[in-house]
Amino acid sequence: MIKGKRPFFVILLILFISLSLGYHSNVYAYYAPSYNYSYWRDSVAAPEAYEATQIIDGKSLGVGSLKEPSDIYVLNNESVYILDSGNNRIIVTDTDFNLIRIIDSFDNNGRIDHFSNPQGIFVTESHHIYVADTDNKRVVHLDDKLKAVTIIDSPESELLPQNFEFKPAKIVVDKAGRIYVMAIGVFDGFMEFSPDGVFTTFIGANRVKVDPIEYLWKLLSTREQRSQMVQFVPTEFTNLDIDEDGFIYAVSADNTDEDVKRLNAQGIDILRRDGYVPPRGDIRYTSEEGPSRLIDIDVTDSEIYSVLDAKRGRIFTYNGDGYLLYIFGRLGNRLGEFDTPVAIERIGDNFLVLDKTLGEITVFEPTEYGRVVNEAIRSYYQGDEERAAEMFAKAVNLNANFEYAYGGIGKAYLRKGDYEKAVEYFKESMDRKNYSKAYILYRRETLREYFPLLMTILCILILCTPLIRKYIWRHIKELSLFRREELRYPLRLTVHPYDEYWELKYRRDKRVNLIISFVILALLCITRILQVQYNGFLVNYNNPRDFNSILEIVYVVLPVLFWCIANWSLTTLMDGEGKFSEIFISTCFALTPLILIGIPWVLLSNYISAEEVTFYNFFQSFAALWCLYLLFVGNMTVHQFTPSKTVGTMALTVGTIGFLAFLCLLFFNLIQQLLSFAVTVVREILLRF
């Protein structure tokens, strides 16, 4: 044993050094034009899906400069309606931006009427124009000859308060002529009006978002204090759009995962959010800048929708399942960059982005990549899987980082029966559900292929069992390694804890026990590392790029150490008989099941499907329970406690661990402050001399 000590430590040292090496990651030498989010929520490089091609402003339209335009509407990919709010007019152009007409007044029952700072516009197939005439506090419905059909100015209903002020901002109309209005200062959702302008109901209110800390304060404060606090009200929507099936797409700047909603007729949100990241714009942002502020949404065919982030001037496009397809646009002073973007619309697959301050529209056209992705999504939506797979394959060739597309290819392989390829692609797209589906088939196929061989081996084994028993097993059993007490003892302990813990405390050599304990702890560390690195895809949720072996070791060793210290400090107060070394040994021995069950499952988990993950989880829980049971017996024996006292001690130990952790955190915080102070001082000294 003493002889073996030195090499062991040398190996440990080498291992440790090698673990701590190599944490350099490299650098971009070149900046990608765009990005997307990976499954791991990292930003990864992507090609530009859209390229800005031209800027349209009042000058190029020949109508004088636009003043704070706030909305655009594209009708049937034929004409563009620009709501020039500051000039109280609507500019109508064709899709090549040739001026058709300017609407600055309308016929209101024989009287010429004007708009006042209108904020929203919607045009129906029959060229009826709906304008949210905000400062006039009304919604104007004009027919194709610019005669007012209805004017909604003061909606009445018992749902509305007495002094209700109607300030419509955005507006959509469904095929049946029902009008949905987003009004300023209304927190109950969109206002729905019947085609003849009668207020019917509110639809789709946002849920109240409660800040837990504020809520706590509220509970603790008196009624008077409470009345002075901010009320919890649902947030307002920022914009809305309607798709061809009459579903309303709504956005709010609420900073939740439900910022985008797809509302059905009952006002229930039915948006699917299956993507790698929730459809809410950026999910990585600095704390100073904060999350995206979504202020417009545009929905096109095939459930593809895009949202506009006003904060960073980015446009995010998602498919119906909620996968982020591409991102383009930014703030700045170059073509394709904005100052204050307020609205987006599409003409076919081209995007229009309206800039309020600059009074201009930037036109974006899809690049090869953008076209391929759009077509892939459309083909898939329409059920043309072959075409979709072809397009997805193209998308992957144009952007190897586009994980979603790998899934699309996988599906095609799955359908074609090439399960091995399908498995590979689903893994690349981190699609566990489909991976499992493909894997079951692949496994069945493989098993079928090797079935005769496997059966033959099995039969031979069965037939030869007596022989094996007699000749081979005996030899194995008699191998000196397996006969060693150091190996057999912990194994025996796991099944006969009462007897063996007794032995451990009173009979056995403590030095040997300690060594075994350390070995068990080391093995557990290795198990943990193996699990993180080699566990099967279906049960492994660790980002391989963040993998850090030292951290994993810390995750194992630290809890054990905490447990032992907490337990020891408690039991010394509670007349426990255990010494620290005994507590440590008994704890380490109790960990054996985690290794015994963990290691085989590292291997097995690579060959399971989603349904069999239950087994995996069962065995993991089983190991944990077993470990807990051993801990209990160990604790009881070591301290010579009654069972109830043991349970109590263990519960208290957990509490103490929490306390210890808190102390440590405090300590480290202080150290850190001290360090940063020292660093500042040193820097200042260096600076001055």
- State which of positions 59-88 bind other proteins (CB under 8 A): 59
**β-sheet bridge partners, residue 44:** 36
Verify binding: residue 688, other proteins, rule CB under 8 A. Answer: yes
Of 275, 268, 259, the residue nearest 318 (C-alpha): 275
Beta carbon of residue 57, minimum distance to other proteins (angstroms, whole number): 9
Mutual orientation of helices 485-495 and 510-534 as an angle, nearest 10°? 70
Q: Which is nearer to other proteins, 151 or 530 (CB)?
A: 530
Pairing mode of beta strands 330-331, 337-338: parallel
Q: Which is nearer to other proteins, 369 or 563 (CB)?
A: 369
Q: Which is nearer to other proteins, 176 or 687 (CB)?
A: 687
Beta carbon of residue 286, minimum distance to other proteins (angstroms, whole number): 6
Beta carbon of residue 664, minimum distance to other proteins (angstroms, whole number): 18
User: Which residues in the 17-46 window bind other proteins by CB under 8 A?
Assistant: 18-19, 21-35, 37-38, 43-46
Verify binding: residue 529, other proteins, rule CB under 8 A. Answer: yes
Pair 119, 343: CB distance under 8 Å: no
Q: Which is nearer to other proteins, 242 or 373 (CB)?
A: 373
Q: Which is nearer to other proteins, 189 or 291 (CB)?
A: 291
Q: Which is nearer to other proteins, 529 or 583 (CB)?
A: 529
Size of the site for other proteins (CB under 8 A): 78
Q: Which is nearer to other proteins, 62 or 658 (CB)?
A: 62
d(CA 133, CA 152): 10
Which DSSP helix (H) or strand (E) runs through 362? strand 360-366
Beta carbon of residue 280, minimum distance to other proteins (angstroms, whole number): 13
Q: Which is nearer to other proteins, 53 or 640 (CB)?
A: 53
User: Which residues in the 397-456 window bind other proteins by CB under 8 A?
Assistant: 397-401, 428
**DSSP per position, 216-274:** HHHHHS-HHHHHHSPP--PPPEEEEEE-TTSPEEEEE-S-STTSEEEE-TT--B-----
Q: Which is nearer to other proteins, 81 or 338 (CB)?
A: 338
Q: What is the dihedral of CA 196, 201, 203, 205, to 10 degrees?
A: 140
Part of the chain binding other proteins (CB under 8 A), chosen from 438-446, 474-482, 493-501, 676-684: 676-684
Q: Which is nearer to other proteins, 141 or 312 (CB)?
A: 312
Q: Which is nearer to other proteins, 106 or 392 (CB)?
A: 392
Using CB under 8 A as the criterion, what x/- string covers residues 166-195 for binding other proteins?
------------------------------
Beta carbon of residue 601, minimum distance to other proteins (angstroms, whole number): 16
Q: Which is nearer to other proteins, 60 or 621 (CB)?
A: 60
Beta carbon of residue 99, minimum distance to other proteins (angstroms, whole number): 17
Verify binding: residue 530, other proteins, rule CB under 8 A. Answer: yes
Beta carbon of residue 357, minimum distance to other proteins (angstroms, whole number): 8
User: Which residues in the 377-396 window bind other proteins by CB under 8 A?
Assistant: 396
Give pairs for 420-429: CB < 8 Å, separation 24+.
427/537, 428/403, 429/39, 429/403, 429/404, 429/405
Part of the chain binding other proteins (CB under 8 A), chosen from 446-454, 493-501, 530-538, 569-577: 530-538
Beta carbon of residue 2, minimum distance to other proteins (angstroms, whole number): 28
d(CA 519, CA 357): 69
Part of the chain binding other proteins (CB under 8 A), chosen from 102-110, 161-169, 539-547, 578-586: 539-547
Beta carbon of residue 50, minimum distance to other proteins (angstroms, whole number): 9
Part of the chain binding other proteins (CB under 8 A), chosen from 15-23, 195-203, 611-619, 621-629: 15-23
Part of the chain binding other proteins (CB under 8 A), chosen from 104-112, 198-206, 333-341, 515-523: 333-341
Beta carbon of residue 292, minimum distance to other proteins (angstroms, whole number): 10
User: Which residues in the 633-672 window bind other proteins by CB under 8 A?
Assistant: none
Pair 100, 134: CB distance under 8 Å: no
- Give me the phi and psi of 346, to 5 degrees please: -120, 145
Q: Which tokens belong to 575?
A: 């007349």
Q: Residues 15, 440, 522, 604: which binds other proteins (CB under 8 A)? A: 15
Q: Which is nearer to other proteins, 532 or 539 (CB)?
A: 532
Pair 165, 225: CB distance under 8 Å: no
Beta carbon of residue 14, minimum distance to other proteins (angstroms, whole number): 10
Part of the chain binding other proteins (CB under 8 A), chosen from 99-107, 300-308, 541-549, 619-627: 541-549
d(CA 260, CA 283): 14
**DSSP per position, 477-541:** HHSHHHH-HHHHHHHHHHH-HHHHHHHHHHTS-HHHHHHHHHHHHHHHHHHHHHHHHHS-TTT--
Instruction: Tell me how far CA of residue 465 lies from CA of 105, 460, 477, 478, in angstroms.
Output: 98, 8, 15, 18
**β-sheet bridge partners, residue 294:** 309
Beta carbon of residue 669, minimum distance to other proteins (angstroms, whole number): 13
User: Which residues in the 272-331 window bind other proteins by CB under 8 A?
Assistant: 282-286, 312, 330
- 610 burial (CB, 10 Å; 0-12 / 13-18 / 19+) is middle
- Dihedral sign from CA coordinates of 331, 335, 341, 347: negative
Beta carbon of residue 495, minimum distance to other proteins (angstroms, whole number): 29
Q: Residues 80, 532, 560, 633: which binds other proteins (CB under 8 A)? A: 532
Q: Which is nearer to other proteins, 3 or 545 (CB)?
A: 545
Q: Which is nearer to other proteins, 69 or 118 (CB)?
A: 69
Q: Which tokens belong to 347?
A: 């003409």
Q: Residues 186, 253, 299, 358: which binds other proteins (CB under 8 A)? A: 358
Which DSSP helix (H) or strand (E) runs through 122? strand 120-123
Beta carbon of residue 393, minimum distance to other proteins (angstroms, whole number): 9
220 contact partners, CB below 8 Å, separation of at least 6: none
206 contact partners, CB below 8 Å, separation of at least 6: 187, 189, 234, 235, 236, 237, 252, 254, 258
Pair 436, 443: CB distance under 8 Å: no
Q: Which is nearer to other proteins, 362 or 494 (CB)?
A: 362
Q: Which tokens belong to 599?
A: 């290691």
d(CA 76, CA 132): 21
Verify binding: residue 116, other proteins, rule CB under 8 A. Answer: no
Q: Residues 68, 269, 349, 365: which binds other proteins (CB under 8 A)? A: 365
Beta carbon of residue 82, minimum distance to other proteins (angstroms, whole number): 18
Q: Kindly state the DSSP code that residue 207 receives in the 8-state scheme.
A: P
CA atoms in the 13 A half-sphere facing the CB of 61: 26
